[in-house]
Amino acid sequence: MLTKKQLALISIGTSLSFWDIFNVPYIIKDASTQLGYVSSSLILTSEMIGYFVGGGINGYIASKFGRKLGIILSMLIIFIGSLLGFLSQNYLQLIIAEFIIGFGIEGEIAVVPSYVSEMSTPNFRGRAVGFTTLGGFLMSLIVGPFALIIPNWRFLFLPSLLISAFALFFRILLPESNIWIKKREEKIVWDNTVLIFLAIWATSYFTGYSLFSAPIFSLLSAKGFSNSAYYFTYILYGDPIGVILASILNDKFERKYTSSLSNILSGILIFLMPLTTGISFIIVGFLAMFFQGFKFPTMYTYTAENLGTKIRSLGYGIADGIGHLGGAIGPVIFSFLYEYSALASFIMLFIISSISGILILSYGMKTKNKSLEELKG
């Protein structure tokens, strides 16, 4: 089993996944002054494509050759991408760097929850996964202030370079997953549960990414909040608070219900957003974002629990990696529909978010205090 010190050190590396997601807008903005026009959509698309392929490929490697190799490779790939980004001399190099980083990010997300779940006791598994990923969500809060004080956009790649180098060295010293060792000679057998969780993550990401798109800021302005970016910050803080609370409570309740209800309750609150005004609007938005954050520690743990050992990291990488497609198309559809009817666009998000929760209720297993061997073997 992993010690708390080992979990803390793993979380330092995992925090890069979120640093490298949230630093992209600042890189795009400032890099344009040195490299010429940089298309934000192409940069973001290249990173998203990296998600799609990185999760499945690194997940397969971790399923076939071991979890330890998977978590080492994800850090190595993030290091290479960050180094290329730091040294980029033109637009094409920056696009390639973000693709490589995206590959590493999703490779990390595909393997770390599986590894930590397998190396934790049943009554601590939820908190172990929650605390491992918590650092990433907290890291996202300091990207903005850091971007404001650095003299050059290249320095946004520096934390990734330094932390990934440290994490790479530390992870070489970690033990292999005992559960994977017992199953290493078995063949990988396809499980349709992967497709169910692909649908769960796609619908959940569809809603979550939409909450960061233009219609939210337009609605804030329509509600009389002249500085929409400022007031959006109050709504946004619900996300990390939800992550923190869920990480603490992740073993207290049945994750089948906390995972599903966080999506359903968030959907209901999103539906109420265009129907409220004033401080009530900010509170409802904050709570919607709170449940969006709350879902991540529970769903990260729960996805790993619903998959068997041999396909766990591969299935996780497919479900979460390709599931990001929902996050890619969600904001586009949401923005398009908002132009015709604000209320209809928010009703759509309520429905999509609820579908994610209903799928979990319908197909997910009860996992509280059960060993992984009891659940799927």
Mean pLDDT, range 6-31, rounded to an integer: 80
Q: Which pLDDT tens digit goes with each residue over 242-257? A: 999 999 999 999 999 9
Domain membership of residue 124 (yes or no) is: yes
Q: Does residue 39 carry a pLDDT above 90? A: no
The answer on 121 and 198 residing in a single domain is no
362/222 same-domain check: yes
Looking at residue 37, its pLDDT comes to 66
Residue for token digits 């169910």?
A: 196
Across residues 254-270, what is the average pLDDT?
98
Q: What is the mean pLDDT of the chain?
A: 92
313 and 356, same domain (yes or no): yes
CA 203 vs. chain centroid, Å, equals 14
Residue 183 lies in a domain: no
What's the average model confidence in pLDDT over 34-48?
73
In the chain, the number of structural domains is 2
Q: Where are the alpha helices (DSSP H) in the chain?
A: 4-22, 24-35, 40-65, 67-87, 91-118, 125-149, 158-172, 178-183, 193-210, 214-222, 228-236, 238-249, 255-272, 278-305, 312-340, 342-363, 372-375
Give dist(CA 133, CA 15) in Å, integer.
7
Report the b/e string of 219-251 with b at 16+ CB within 10 A.
bbeebebeebeebbeebbebbbebbbebbebbb
- Residue 323 in any domain: the answer is yes
Range of the domain at 140: 4-168
Please give the full DSSP string across 70-136, using - where no structure is assigned: HHHHHHHHHHHHHHHHHH--SHHHHHHHHHHHHHHHHHHHHHHHHHHHHTS-TTTHHHHHHHHHHHH
CATH number at residue 118: 1.20.1250.20
Domain-embedded: residue 44: yes
What tokens were used for 179?
Answer: 């559960």
State how far the Cα of 130 lies from the Cα of 3, in Å rounded to an integer. 15
pLDDT of residue 138: 78
Residue 178 included in any domain: no
Whether residue 346 is predicted with pLDDT greater than 90 in this model: the reply is: yes
**Is residue 353 situated within a structural domain?**
yes
Is 158 in the same domain as 213? no
- Whether pTM > 0.85 for this model: the answer is yes
Q: How far is the C-alpha of 44 from the C-alpha of 122, rounded, in Å?
A: 38
Q: Are residues 197 and 281 in the same domain?
A: yes
**Within a domain: residue 175?**
no
Instruction: Please check whether residues 86 and 203 belong to one and the same domain.
Output: no
